[in-house]
Amino acid sequence: MKIFHASMSDIGRTRKINEDSLYVSKRDGIYLIADGMGGHLAGEVASKIAVETIGSFLKSTRGDKEITWPFQRDEALTYDANRFIVSVKLANKKIFNHGRERNLPGMGTTIVGVLCNNSGTVNMCHVGDSRIYRIRNGKIERMTEDHSLLNDTIKRERMTAEEIEKFPYKNVITRALGIEEVVTVDLRLEEAQDEDLYILCSDGLSNFMSEQEIAQTIIKNKSNVQKSCKELVKKTNAKGGLDNISVIIIRFSEGQKPRKKE
């Protein structure tokens, strides 16, 4: 199965710096977005540590199964799923230690990522409220669950659309890398189908673009994922660009099948 991808990160229209970090390695099947927090450049540093640590560990363990791991493996999971989770835990430890050594309380970052291969196996990991969506057969589905106060409240109470819109603590997340010494990582494993599209994004996009707006933009440019990225960023900035905006789109395609000889 062929894999096509595009990525883009934009500072937006109101922020002074971009605290989002992207990491893409098609050869290794690694696609990551981290959305930093903490102020005074701490968020920018945290997100960079996250993607570089995860990417480096995944690359080093790709061809060397004898390498020493900093955390124990889960025998119930596949090798790829294990190394993905371990890489995120390692990033968490590095950010936590960095913040403590430099007295940067609140330094942290969300992380959302895909580790995939040409066979169509898609491992998804995330911590925080950055998201992964999948578009299949023209329908969009959210593949991650926000680790946020709003999401916890929605699960605990029946909230109307108006109450959700007016919720005063939308930006409060309940889980992130670097905040605690130990972190729980959410993992999801899927098998891609022909023409599946996976969209990774920071909340700078998902907070201002509805799922249907995202789907319509991408489906309109289905064969041109780079154009889709640019359109999503452009439309989000047109709504005010109140946050950094980052997006990665991954398209799986079996390509044209050869015609049978008549």
Task: Dig out the tokens for 199 from the structure.
Answer: 């969209």
In the predicted model, is pLDDT for residue 196 greater than 60?
Answer: yes
pLDDT at 40: 65
Strand partners, 110: 35
Q: In what order do the strands lie in the sheet with 2-10?
A: 2-10, 245-253, 197-201, 131-136, 139-142
pLDDT at 38: 77
In the predicted model, is pLDDT for residue 259 greater than 50?
Answer: no
Do 71 and 44 form a contact (C-beta atoms < 8 A)? no
Alpha carbon distance 247, 137 (integer Å): 21
Name the CA radius of gyration of the chain, rounded: 18
pLDDT at 55: 98
Query: What does 143-200 look like in DSSP terms, one character per residue?
Result: -S---BHHHHHHHHS---HHHHHH-TTTT-BS--BTSSSS---EEEEEE--TT-EEEE
pLDDT at 151: 79
Alpha carbon distance 17, 243 (integer Å): 10
Amino acid found at 227:
K
Task: Dig out the tokens for 103 from the structure.
Answer: 């007295």
- The mean predicted confidence, pLDDT, of the chain is 92
In the predicted model, is pLDDT for residue 257 greater than 50?
Answer: no
Alpha carbon distance 222, 253 (integer Å): 11
Q: In this structure, are strands 197-201 and 245-253 parallel, antiparallel, or unpaired? A: antiparallel
- Write the pLDDT tens digit of every residue in 50-104: 999 999 999 999 877 777 788 888 889 999 999 999 999 999 999 999 999 999 8
- Write the pLDDT tens digit of every residue in 100-129: 999 988 899 999 999 999 999 999 999 999
Residues whose CB falls within 8 Å of the CB of residue 27, separated by 6 or more in sequence, listed in order = none
Confidence of residue 258 (pLDDT cuts 50, 70, 90): very low
pTM for the model stands at 0.92
- For each of the domains in the chain, give its residue range(s) and CATH number, in order of start: 2-144+173-253 (3.60.40.10)
